[in-house]
Structure 1
Amino acid sequence: MSNTDGQIKRGVLVIFFSLVLDLLAFTVILPLFPSLFDHYEKHDTGTLYSSMKASVQTFQQALGVPDNFNSVLFGGLIGSLFSFLQFLSSPLVGGLSDIYGRKPLLLITMVGILASYALWAAADSFAVFILARIIGGLSKGNISLSTAIVSDLSSEKTRGKAMALIGVAFSIGFTLGPVIGAAFVVWSKGTSNWFIYPAWFAIILMVLDIIYVVYFFEESLPLEKRSGSVTGSLGQAAHFINPSSLFAFHLVKDLKAEEWRNLKRIGMIYFLYLLFFSGLEFTLTFLTHIHFSFDSMRQGRMYAFIGITMALLQGVFGLMSMVPAFFIIGLATTTAWLYFGLFFFSAGSAIVVPCLTTLVSGYGGERQRGLVLGTFRSLGALARAIGPLVASLVYWSVGPALCYVLGAVLLIIPFKMMQKTNIPNQL
């Protein structure tokens, strides 16, 4: 192995471990939302919580959702806001990294994430907590930056395996983070400001992550390979928030006609996949609680199973495994059948996004890679902002079985689109 190969391998591993720290900090809050909402319902002195609760209750009553799922819908609303803010920020962060380098933008986003955790720790009101989530959502462009860095540091032959490492980092984060968060709830039960303990855990992880990146990550985009200035694509500010421009990748320049068609098609496949997937993923909480009497601990074990299976199956199965997954989950009558469906669900989760990210990273060249991947990530965030709301509407309108069967059928659309996409051999 040459020195260059060694440096590439080291750089990818640095980003992998950085992502693990970041995702552990990010996911620790996920099982805490119901308890956080209960806390602010009792102790918030402002009007934001009560007004948002009234809106959620109106939605819940219109759909016929049981009262005990208000916190789930509330969490979905906050999650959709977080994803929508990622939709707004990811293309800009990616484009700026093409000009000023990956490391400065990576550190800026990480400092923003750290600030959001610090606000969470000090959130004595619901308004401050929402402000923390807003800052966190706007700062979460570090994920698209990490994919750009991995693409910078890998060759065409090794890019797929390198991108799979990002999937493994997600699997680790989403397996361990929620379990740690739930443990904090149990450990700090009875204390008034119990949430400061998981918040400080996230703060410590982000401080370690920032120090780690400062000292161990070397810039992956040298000066001679950067974009020239902000006068080009970044000057077209409207394109950064216009969904039609993002779907058309109007910010990306100098592509051949066939490359442009492929890039737009892969972006649409990614959006449709995450639109259907994220909605059905969100309603799993309803399904398992109502039909299988899962409490929060059993749901935690379910998500741990998903995360572990994803880590083990990286690169083994593809997009089409999601179709039987949601058929089986939606029609399952026993826990064994549910977990059989979750196996296919995990397999699809493990490979689809890394594969699509690998494909799209081959477009735009080194000078536009951050912009391409930022736009791509933005489309996924938009899908995650819309999917849970639409799926909740369908779930409570027509029932879980038809909702999941319909989702499985719709997932055939991106699969068929992928079959018709002409992917160059080098990708």
Structure 2
Amino acid sequence: MKADKNLWILVLVCIINSLGLGIIIPVLYSYGKTFGLNGTTLGALMASFSIAQFFATPVLGSLSDKWGRKPLLVISLAGTCISFLMFAEAGSLLMLFAARILDGLTGGNVSVAQAMVADTATPQNRARRFGILGSSLAFGIVIGPFVGGVFTKLSPQAPFFFAASLSLVGTLCAAIFLRETNPSSKKTRARHHEKFKYSSLITTLKRPTIGTAVFIGFLLTMAQLAMVTGFQTFSVDILKIWPTEIGLFFAGFGLCGIIMQLCVPMFTRLIPSKALILMISSILCFAAMLYSGFISSFVPFAICMCVYGMFNGLRNPMLNAIIADNIDKGEQGKILGINQAYASIGQTLGPLTAGLVTVISIHSVFFLSSFYILAAFLLSFRLKKKE
């Protein structure tokens, strides 16, 4: 198949953008401590982004249906660039919150990029293209912490300035090289004359296939973020490994997911049913996570994390492809935006619920994560039935 130039430009933009995010997340706490940031306010700072994104992403996706994908993607990337600069020039904790909220309000990067992929994909290659896009987003997150650590040695602000420069490059690449996949015209704008209604967040969940896929994504996102919380606590308190080793361990986990997302075409050739692939990957993730709750040694834990990391990598390509297969082109931006909105809330609720169950034991986090995965697996039977 001839390479899709627009897809690869989009991949480059997503790598640049996610690399910037990967750079600042690990250094955010140590940087914010100079302004009075503590464990409690760190949680609030991270949640402020997700809450802002929950309300903004569906609106940005809906606007991209009306005015075109490219301008909304450029605005989102520019917002991220400005937020990084605000971090670098922050003089108070309030400025950190303002920067994080701005990034959330303009956080339509992922959903608009997904809509651009959906615009030009076919049912046969849609999962493959979502897999490529997902691996590019994951790549930046995996490599970013190492780059951030290097720039921290220059100055506390250096990682934020570098992340801002990367976001600026991504913004310019999108503005100059990306081709619009949803051209705006009087006809398309007339079809979308109504403003986005937040009631769509509820009505979308009521749609048989799309609503089920969105809610499954929400559950699996909560499971992943709960696992990440347990992973860090378990690694330090039970396995007694150093922060550098934890970073390498987590990078290996991320690379497993990237490799699996690049193997999506192989899976779709062997198993034509996207829902069945989702079911198989979910039950394997469930088994790995459940077993993690019973072990206390490094090697079996590493094996479980490897299995989970690999098959969790199939989640987003399959779900996004199922959603895109079942929506009209005129609402792709809105629905994928709503999907991202629920994922952002899952990113908040996952660590929050994990923190609550650690009162019982560290291992209980893995049981909680496996419960979320099991619920998603059972719901996936509805997708298979509809398919």
Residue 388 of structure 1 corresponds to 351
Q: Does 1:263 align with 2:210?
A: yes
Q: Which letter maps to 1:286?
A: T
- Please report the TM-score for the alignment, with normalisation by the length of structure 1: 0.81
Counterpart in the other structure of 1:308 = 255
SS at match of 1:367: helix
Q: 2:102 aligns with which of 135, 139, 142?
A: 135
- Say if 2:90 and 2:96, in contact at 8 Å, map to a contact too: yes
Residue equivalent to 2:129: 162
Match of 1:246 in 2: 201
Q: How many Å apart are 1:410 and its aligned residue?
A: 3.5
Q: Which residue of 1 aligns with 2:168?
A: 207
Matched, 1:332 2:291: no
- Aligned CA-pair RMSD: 2.1
CA distance in 1: counterparts of 2:372 and 2:109, whole angstroms:
31
State the AA in 2 paired with 1:282.
Answer: T
Aligned ranges 1:270-285 → 2 under 5 Å: 270-285=217-232
Pick from 94, 101, 121: which aligns with 2:68? 101
Please state how far the C-alpha of 1:421 moved relative to its aligned partner: 2.0
Amino acid at match of 1:76: G
User: Deviations 1:333-369 (Å, cap 9, x if unpaired)?
Assistant: 2111121111022113311122101111123311111
2: CA distance between counterparts of 1:350 and 1:83? 22
Structure 1 residue 20 and structure 2 residue 15: aligned?
yes
Shift in alpha-carbon separation, 1:360–1:405, aligned structure 2, 3 A: same
* Matched residue, 1:242: none
How far 1:150 sits from its partner (Å)? 0.5
Deviation sequence 1:185-205 (CA, Å, 0-9, x none): 3x23xxxxx222101111111
What is the CA–CA distance in structure 2 between the aligned matches of 1:407 and 1:205, rounded to whole Å? 34
1:217-264 Cα deviation digits (max 9, x unpaired): 0100133683525533x253x42xxxxx414318xxxxxx9xx31111
Cα distance, 1:142 vs structure 2: 1.0
**In the alignment, residue 128 of structure 1 is paired with which amino acid?**
M
The one of 102, 117, 122 equivalent to 1:150 is 117
Does the C-alpha gap of structure 1 residues 274 and 247 become closer, same or farther in structure 2, counting only changes over 3 Å? farther
Determine if contact 2:209/2:386 at 8 Å carries over to the other structure: no
Q: Distance in 1 between matches of 2:165 and 2:100?
A: 18
CA distance in 1, matches of 2:188, 2:243: 48
Equivalent residue in structure 2 for 1:419, among 364, 381, 387? 381
In the alignment, the residues of structure 1 paired with residue 221 and residue 99 of structure 2 have an alpha-carbon distance, to the nearest angstrom, of 25
Cα shift at 1:87: 0.8
Q: For the Cα contact (< 8 Å) 1:328–1:341, is it kept in 2?
A: yes
User: Which residue in the other structure is 1:61 paired with?
Assistant: none
Q: Distance in 1 between matches of 2:196 and 2:341?
A: 18
Match of residue 336 from structure 2: 373
Kept in 1, the 8 Å contact 2:83–2:100? The answer is: yes
Say whether residues 1:288 and 2:231 are aligned partners: no
Distance in 2 between the 1:277 and 1:298 partners? 20
Output the CA distance in 2 between the equivalents of 1:379 and 1:409.
18
Any conservation in 1 of the 2:79–2:102 contact (CA below 8 Å)?
A: yes
Tell whether the 8 Å contact from 1:227 to 1:368 is kept in structure 2 after alignment: no
Residues 152, 366 of structure 1: 8 Å contact kept: yes
2:60 is matched by which residue type in structure 1? Answer: V
Equivalent in the alignment of 1:79: 46
> Equivalent residue for 2:179?
218
In the alignment, residue 14 of structure 2 is paired with which amino acid? L
Q: Give 1:404 shift.
A: 1.4
Match of 1:118 in 2: 85
Secondary structure, counterpart of 2:363 in structure 1: helix
Aligned-partner SS, 1:28: helix
Following superposition, the deviation at residue 33 of structure 1 comes to 2.6
Inter-CA distance 11–199: structure 2 relative to 1 (3 Å threshold): same
For residues 78 and 331 of structure 1, do their structure 2 counterparts lie closer, same or farther at Cα, with a shift above 3 Å needed? Answer: farther
In 2, the alpha carbon distance for the partners of 1:92 and 1:404 equals 34
1:117 offset after TM fit, Å? 0.9
Is this contact kept in 1: 2:212–2:382, CA < 8 A?
Answer: no
Q: CA deviation at 1:423?
A: 6.1
- Consecutive unaligned residues in structure 1, runs of 5 or more: 42-48, 54-69, 189-193, 240-244, 251-256
**How far 1:304 moved relative to its partner?**
0.9
Give the distance between the partners of 1:262 and 1:290, measured in 2 at CA: 42
Relative to the length of structure 2, the TM-score reads: 0.89
Residue 29 of structure 1, aligned match among 18, 24, 33: 24
> Structure 2 regions of 5+ residues with no counterpart?
268-279
1:44-59 alignment runs, 5 A limit:
49=37, 53=38
